[in-house]
């Protein structure tokens, strides 16, 4: 034990493990985006040869799947069964889902494309489906309702983070491009809405859409 600690100190790093690789990979993804996350860079960042990674992760695809599970694991589903109405618990869980996505905006493309393969990753889906079933939807409709809610949440956050007006770095040139295109004759609605699009409150927009969706879904329950 003492010797192990000593060797670590000598090497200046902890031992390589799958968990440590995924953690650092997610950090790199958050910092510099998906294109910058290469096996070679990740290895260099961990102070190790590129091929060392392949002892803990079969390939880059598996690395991406691991990151997906890591992010999905951050979702807080503890209060999905709370509240008077079924929509209260769903709202809480979906809000946590959104918070996680906003914390890892570059991970959205991974979550949208990589399959879930571990119990950890399926737990939020189980919680959501169970809450929807408890609300009274039949099993088939419950699946549809789940996809409607998850689709809305993921698509909305995706729209937000990829909106160039949200990024201070390219804001000015985006405004310029739009100012030239949005003539009042050809694009009346867009030129009118420019000021509102600029200072768009995405939190409020998300709440509006989610409330409307849940209200509409709940109405299908009464009939």
The least distance separating DNA from the CB of residue 38, rounded to whole angstroms, comes to 3
Q: Which two tokens stand for residue 37?
A: 């996350």
Residue 15 or 168 with smaller CB distance to DNA? 15
- Stretch 87-116 residues interacting with a second copy (CB under 8 A): 108-109, 112-115
Say whether residue 209 binds a second copy (CB under 8 A).
yes
Q: Which of 20, 102, 107, 106 is nearest to 68 (CA)?
A: 107
- Stretch 32-61 residues interacting with DNA (CB under 7 A): 37-41, 48-52, 54-56, 59-61
First and final CA of the chain: distance in angstroms? 66
The least distance separating DNA from the CB of residue 95, rounded to whole angstroms, comes to 34
Residue 152: contacted member of a second copy, DNA, none (CB under 5 to 8 Å, by partner type): a second copy
71 in Cβ contact with 100 (< 8 Å): yes
Measured CA to CA, the distance from residue 178 to residue 47 in angstroms comes to 45
3-state secondary structure 22-88: HHHHHHHHHHHCCCCCCHHHHHHHCCCCHHHHHHCCCCHHHHHHHHHHHHHCCCCCCCCCCCCCHHH
Say whether residue 48 binds a second copy (CB under 8 A).
no
The least distance separating a second copy from the CB of residue 83, rounded to whole angstroms, comes to 18
Residue 11 or 171 with smaller CB distance to a second copy? 171
Out of 140, 169, 172, 185, point to the residue binding a second copy (CB under 8 A): 140
């Amino acid at each position: 034990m003492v010797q192990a600690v000593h060797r670590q100190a000598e090497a200046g790093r902890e031992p390589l493990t799958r968990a440590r690789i995924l953690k650092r990979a997610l950090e790199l993804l958050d910092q510099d985006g998906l294109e910058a996350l290469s096996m070679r860079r990740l290895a260099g960042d961990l102070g190790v040869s590129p091929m060392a990674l392949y002892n803990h992760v079969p390939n880059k695809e598996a690395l991406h799947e691991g990151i997906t599970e890591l992010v999905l694991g951050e979702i807080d589903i503890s209060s999905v069964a709370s509240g008077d109405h079924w929509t209260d618990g769903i709202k809480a869980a979906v809000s946590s889902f959104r918070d996680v996505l906003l914390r890892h905006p570059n991970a959205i493309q991974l979550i949208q494309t990589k399959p879930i393969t571990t119990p950890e990753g399926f737990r939020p889906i189980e919680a959501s489906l169970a809450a929807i079933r408890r609300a009274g939807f039949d099993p088939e409709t419950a699946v549809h309702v789940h996809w409607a809610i998850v689709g809305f949440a993921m698509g909305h956050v995706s729209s937000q983070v990829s909106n160039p007006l949200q990024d201070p770095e390219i804001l000015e040139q985006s405004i310029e491009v739009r100012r030239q295109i949005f003539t009042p004759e050809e694009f009346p609605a867009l030129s009118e809405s420019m000021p509102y699009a600029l200072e768009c409150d995405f939190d409020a927009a998300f709440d509006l859409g989610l409330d409307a969706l849940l209200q509409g879904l709940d109405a299908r329950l009464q009939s």
